[in-house]
Amino acid sequence: MSANTNTDIWLAGAFAAFSVDLLVYPLDTLKTRLQAENYKQLYKLPNGSTNRSLFRGLYQGVGSIILITLPSSGAFFTAYEGFKTILKSEAVMPPNSTIYLPEPAIHAVASIGAELVSCAILTPAEVLKQNAQMMSASGGRSSSLRVFQQFKKHPTKLWRGYTALAARNLPYTGLQFPLFEYLKKDFLKRREVSKGGKPVDGIAERALITAMSAGIAGSGAAWITTPIDVVKTRIMLAASTDDPVDNRPKQRGMLFEGIQGNRKSGFTVAAEVFKKEGIQGLFRGALLRAAWTTFGSGLYLGIYEGGRFYLESTRKEKDDDSDHVMERDWSKVKVGVQGSRSHATIRKSGWQDD
């Protein structure tokens, strides 16, 4: 089967991202609120029960992330497949070379390179999204627009969380994709054996195997990288603060204005979280993150694989149709004007009989 084009990869990645964003976004909002510094003040009542406001406005900020996720996801998968092709090429690993790059290392390097590209596109939307998720629900303007107003004077703050986002995503993808590729390959091989050696070419079947592999790999990677995710969340929420020392809300309706000293490094933020809340604070929201990553990552890569395989199969069918036209038996086709000397039957040339 012919390989996917960049367009196939881009479309499949963008469609997968759009579908998953709509379905799992409420869980992401809950995770952001759980990881916020003032979670207890906002969402815990004096008697210890949970404030209902925790479950309100769960789709706040979804617009900004959907608009940016489409190009960022397309860019990720295009770069990922491109890096894999380059790393497996003879230019990098000549046939007679004694240097061997293991396949898990290829997948890890390719995913890390692709993540750096994707994070540059995604960071502004992540900052807008997480600040919008912490806003009080209102019937006026959208939360995304209200947050955007805070960054009009200093738009460069939208990229303040790039390092934190990359610091979370790089180890996450570096852990997930090698394990994901290994599990997918193993599951496909087992399925082929159970089918008597026949290849797994059903779109739904391949998508399901991919989803299972991605869900297992993603949940483990998500749990391990939760402390980095907590730090990333707090740095991004702090980006909307005008005064790096003042922690008070600058605008009515804003529930969270960031950590004190929003220009602190990730290491400093992590140390403060550990000092105030212990190891539990660094792993706050870990169960929820692992759960929604199992579902979200499985759905994401499952839809991506299904869409990619569908586009590839569709193009293969078109290629086969065009090949049938080219292979037509021309031996009985008459050419020229009937009754004239030029009217004759096309004969095969000697090379066509071979």
HEC string of the chain equals CCCCCHHHHHHHHHHHHHHHHHHHHHHHHHHHHHHCCCHHHHHECCCCCECHHHHCCCCCCHHHHHHHHHHHHHHHHHHHHHHHHHHHCCCCCCCCCCCCCCHHHHHHHHHHHHHHHHHHHHHHHHHHHHHHHCECCCCCCCHHHHHHHHCCCCHHHHHCCHHHHHHHHHHHHHHHHHHHHHHHHHHHHHHHHHCCCCCCCCHHHHHHHHHHHHHHHHHHHHHHCHHHHHHHHHHHHHCCCCCCCCCCCCCCCECCCCCCCCCCCHHHHHHHHHHHHHHHHHCCCHHHHHHHHHHHHHHHHHHHHHHHHHHHHHHHHHHHHHHHHHCCCCCCCEECCCCCCCCEECCCCHHHCC
Bigger pLDDT: 266 vs 320 = 266
Q: Which of 55-59, 160-164, 170-174 has the lowest mean pLDDT?
A: 160-164
Q: Tell me: pLDDT of 1 over 50.
A: no
Is the per-residue pLDDT at 40 higher than 90? no
Average pLDDT, the chain: 79
Look at residue 154 in the predicted model and tell me its pLDDT: 77
Please report the pLDDT score of residue 251 as a whole number: 42
More confident residue, 94 or 255: 94
Q: Is the pLDDT of residue 252 over 50?
A: no
Q: What is the mean pLDDT of residues 233-257?
A: 55
Q: What is the pLDDT of residues 302-332, one digit of tens each?
A: 888 888 888 877 777 666 655 555 555 545 5
pLDDT at 341: 44
Across 48-57, 216-225, 234-243, the highest mean pLDDT is recorded for: 216-225
196-235, pLDDT tens digit by residue? 888 887 888 888 999 999 999 999 999 999 999 999 999 8
So what's the pLDDT on residue 324?
54
- Map out the domains of the chain with their CATH numbers: 6-352 (1.50.40.10)
Listed range (282-291, 293-302, 345-354) with the worst mean pLDDT: 345-354
- pLDDT the model gives residue 272: 94
Is pLDDT at 192 greater than 60 in this prediction? yes
Q: Look at 217 and 104; give whichever has higher pLDDT.
A: 217
* Between 231 and 7, residue with greater pLDDT: 231
